[in-house]
Chains A and B, each alone.
Chain A
Amino acid sequence: MSGSSAEVAIVGVGLHPFGRHDPGLTGMAMGAQASRRALADAGVSWADIGYAVGGSNVSGKPDTLVSVLGLTGVPFVNVRNGCATGGVALATAANAIRSGETDLALVVGFDKHARGAFAASPADYGHADWYGETGLMVTTQFFAMKDRRYLHTHGLKDRLLAQVAAKAFRCGELNPDAWRRTPVSEDEIMQARAINPPLTQYMLCSPSEGGAALVLARGDRAADLCERPVRLAAVAKRTRQFGSFEVFAPWLPPEAGHSPSVDAARAVFAAAGVSPLDVQVAQLQDTDSGAEIYHMAETGLCEDGAQQSLIDAGETTPGGRLPVNTDGGCLANGEPVGASGLRQVIDIVLQLQGRAGARQVAGPPRVGFTHVYGAPGISACTVLTA
């Protein structure tokens, strides 16, 4: 990229691999390790960072990291936007660079979740106690019900859910940092324990542990810091509009509205001056395998219903025309909520830099896209270019 002072580039990435780790290893320690790796990747020190943004859902206040990284006095913003935390944190740091507050920023996310589905507090989402007590406030119920409605409306088969999950684990096998690295057959996925039908255990991502960090630089500094900086062409975030079918919703109106993913994707493509058809590698929120399917259409990467032929033809694998979640996504990495959106960006950066190893997309690709979606109806998207 040819950098200008108005542009933002990613010049360093660092991951603490996702999975299940030593009970004594805290989420914050994983965030610190990811930060140090990103700083080393960029060849800068913590003292060089002029602005930091951190996200964690359950593992402490991210700005506490200054006590281990160093008390430099750096401004540090905490973000807590559910599964969209990483995207929102990245947007916040990019804006700090664009506004001239700094020319070098660090974004970090981490979490260490307990096993099993998330427990949510009704009051946190504006609901009364009955909603939780009577068993309606479970995220996986929503995933299953949105999947069923989507598959029904667009004439897609339940087996497509297994095809997406099988692809995720094959990608995990190719990614040394992935949590789930053993391929699982479509038949085994279909016949596995039902969690919320039509979803079986392999079709849902698990809450996990990990950390991820990025170093961002103003465009005119990027080439000095990084051999192949990746341009953050645009980042956009949106909350839901009326009529969108969302998690933790006791009702919705009969007039269907579109999801915040549609709005965030349209905004980011317009800002980047890029068409969804130009995307050569994508990361989509795959909290469950159905989410990957409908997010392909909501973000504009394909038409509703076109997923069957694309997936049947292997087009969403690393060797296809539209590779999706080449690092195995949430399904193969699990989801430490605060770090998950940054893991997506790291995978795309490695792909655009030709550093993705066995899962490398040929080219390497020059246009990448990331998308996160979280409760209670928020989305953040990025367009990244080589």
Chain B
Amino acid sequence: MTVTAVDPVLFSSLDPPRLAGSRCASCGTVTFPVQAGCAKCTGTDLARVELAERGTLWTWTVQAFEPKAPYRAPDDGFAPYGVGYVDLGDVIVESRLLGDPAGFEIGMAMRLTLLPLWPGPDGAAVVSYAFEPAGGLG
């Protein structure tokens, strides 16, 4: 069984995991996810690009309470999770975080991974993306 993306727009590849964004042909601005217009120069010529899979933690928090809908908790119930922004060089991406928040620090090295969400219709996991400390989860 192969996993499926919660929204195919997010990924350029699931194996290995790579995020998809767009780059403005006029000013070089990189967006995530793909969008049709450039927020900086108002241009409309944007090409789909693959984003870097490594970056540094820009800021972070922990979601300690269960959000209201449309948030969908895992089948085994809500557990607090990390959230942050990861600086990939040409764009800073908001992401779920894996790993122990006690070890999170602004500036630490992070790498992209998949985040299993819930089972899909065929039993294989529906996934989103997450970043984890590049030194591994220890």
Q: Name A's B-contacting residues (CB within 8 A).
A: 116-117, 119, 121-122, 128-130, 132-138, 141, 144-146, 148-149, 152, 193-199, 242-243, 249-254
Contacts and interface: CB of A to CB of B under 8 A. Distances in A.
A128 B87 contact: no
Contacts of B109: none
Interface in B59-86: 59-65, 67-72, 81, 83-85
A307 B70 CA distance: 37
Nearest to B10: A130
B93 A250 contact: yes
A186 to B, nearest CB: 20
A197 B104 CA distance: 12
Contacts of B134: none
A116 B81 CA distance: 19
Contact of A252 (B67, B81, B92): B92
Contact of A129 (B7, B59, B81, B92): B7
Contacts of A132: 69-71
Given A194-B62, A251-B91, A135 B81 contact: yes
Contact of B128 (A119, A130, A249): A130
A254 B87 CA distance: 7
A243 B92 CA distance: 11
Nearest to B38: A242
A148 B59 contact: yes
A136 B32 CA distance: 14
B106 to A, nearest CB: 5
Given A134-B6, A149-B106, A195 B60 contact: no
B96 interface: yes
A232 to B, nearest CB: 33
B113 interface: no
For chain B, give the interface size range.
Answer: 35 or more
A50 B64 CA distance: 49
Interface in B21-73: 21, 29-33, 39-40, 58-65, 67-72
Given A148-B106, A252-B92, A133 B61 contact: no
B70 A251 contact: no
Contacts of A199: 61
A132 B72 CA distance: 8
Nearest to A240: B39
A249 B35 CA distance: 13
A212 to B, nearest CB: 26
Top 8 nearest A-B pairs (CB, nearest first) are A119-B68, A132-B70, A144-B61, A251-B32, A149-B59, A130-B7, A145-B59, A196-B61
B127 to A, nearest CB: 10
A144 B59 CA distance: 9
B119 interface: no
Contacts of B21: 251
A243 B93 CA distance: 13
Contact of B91 (A121, A197, A198, A254): A254
B128 A134 contact: yes
A149 B85 CA distance: 10
A2 to B, nearest CB: 45
